[in-house]
Amino acid sequence: MKCPYCGCEESKVVDSRPTDEGERIRRRRECFNCSKRFTTYEIIETTPVMIIKRDNSREPYNREKLTNGILRACEKRPVSLDEIDLIVDSVEAKIHSTLEGEVSSKSVGEYAMEYLKNVDEVAYVRFASVYRQFQDIHSFLEELNRLLSEK
């Protein structure tokens, strides 16, 4: 690690600890040349995940798009922003745990619905109605009946 003060590439780690989120490691380093201390952060490098859309086109995974879809489904429902963030985090963890470079948008939607079902059933049905593209009242009723039968 290059010292920001003198440019020397030799330093030692004085202290190491995880950040509050646990996603990064904070390291205090001391330069061998000038003895000044500086902080570095170490993060896990993840490969970008591509989403395979219904028309077989591909685009990079976008957390914001998933968050916005869940926010719309939870509009005027008693679901906190923290719960929504937790759902998105859980979906992302599932996406990354597949160890695939590409994931279908269908899988992402199914993961989101799986978590929404446990948080708020109305938000689940709203999300499912857009995601599954209900064409008529019968397909909507089929989903409601499936939800009721699972209870």
Whole-number Cα distances in Å, 130 to 14, 49, 84, 126, 150: 53, 23, 18, 7, 21
pLDDT in tens, 79-131: 999 899 899 989 988 888 877 789 999 899 989 999 998 999 889 888 888 77
* φ and ψ at residue 133, rounded to 5 degrees: 50, 60
At 12, is the secondary structure helix, strand, or coil? Answer: strand
Residue 136 has pLDDT above 90, yes or no: no
- Residue that has been written with the tokens 């916005």 in this structure: 68
Per-residue pLDDT at 21: 66
* φ and ψ at residue 43, rounded to 5 degrees: -130, 155
pLDDT in tens, 21-58: 677 899 999 999 999 999 998 877 667 889 999 899 99
